[in-house]
Amino acid sequence: MITAKDIEAKTMTPEKRSLAHNDYIAFYIGRRISYYLTIPFLYTNIRPDTISKISFIPTILGFIACCMAKTKWGLLLACLLFFLQDMLDGIDGNVARYKEIYSKYGSVWDAMSGYLKGCLSFLGTGVAAAHFGEWIKVTVEPEIYIILGALTGMAVIFPRLIMHKTITTVGMSQSVEAVKEKGKFSLYKIIALNLGSSEGGVQVLRLIAVLCGALDVFTVFYFVFFMAIAVVSICMMLKDD
């Protein structure tokens, strides 16, 4: 019988561990859960890229739940769906490495799923904040939160696109490596990594924000946070230009 420890031993190489361990919530909680959820998939013929494609579904449903929620229960459902996407994002890689099944476009589907969630989760949260935000007392138009959510999603994705283009154009420079190699992060970068991790800090803080009625604070905070991260990351990657 396949166990979670078997999956971890075969899928978590020392190199991968050195890159992933600084993302504490994702590494020590989310990844552990993904090992158990991977077990049933290993007894099927479902391919890793198929799992990546399936992961689009909870992202879209989570976005719809954010937009249509009338109570906190609807928002909690959205949180659950975004969490499910994160689990599927881990399961596809676990299955690929455990069964040694590699697809030419597997990483492409995986990236597409992650990018879609990066955009829709923050946009959806912004829509929800327009209706459920209770903490910020400054009078603003509710639509502002929707705009901030959309801009946050763009700020999450844009530096990654710049990084990929930089790598394909000029190669892996020291500047790009300083942004990309999570295992070499300083304390400040580790804090930022954990706050900005879609599998870690973002999930936890979104859940807390839903329970406390603080989605407006969540939306404003992550708009400022990811805009700052985007500017710093892009400047770091292009400083050798």
Instruction: Give the residue from 197, 218, 59 showing the smallest Cα distance to 129.
Output: 218
Position 10, amino acid = K
From CA 238, how far away is CA 233, in angstroms rounded? 9
Per-residue pLDDT tens digits for 209-233: 999 999 999 999 999 999 999 988 8
Q: Report CA-CA distances (Å) from 38 to 23, 32, 61, 153, 184.
A: 20, 10, 22, 28, 29
Per-residue pLDDT tens digits for 57-91: 999 999 999 999 999 999 999 999 999 999 999 99
Show the tokens assigned to 233.
């990351």
Domain of residue 84, residue span = 4-237
Average pLDDT over residues 144-164: 90
Position 227, amino acid = M
pTM above 0.85, yes or no: yes
Q: Tokens 């597997």 belong to which residue?
A: 106
- More confident: 138 or 53: 53
Range in 159-168, 173-182, 192-201 with the lowest mean pLDDT: 173-182
CATH of the domain at 199: 1.20.120.1760
Instruction: Give the residue from 194, 199, 202 showing the smallest Cα distance to 223.
Output: 202
pLDDT for the residue numbered 154: 94
Average pLDDT over residues 150-164: 88
pLDDT for the residue numbered 135: 82
Per-residue pLDDT tens digits for 25-66: 888 899 999 999 999 999 999 999 999 999 999 999 999 999
Show the tokens assigned to 102.
């590699």
pLDDT for the residue numbered 177: 58
pLDDT over 70 at 204, yes or no: yes
Q: Is residue 228 a contact partner of residue 158, using CB atoms and an 8 Å limit?
A: no
pLDDT over 60 at 207, yes or no: yes
Structural domain count of the chain? 1
From CA 218, how far away is CA 206, in angstroms rounded? 7
pLDDT over 90 at 181, yes or no: no
Show the tokens assigned to 68.
């249509």
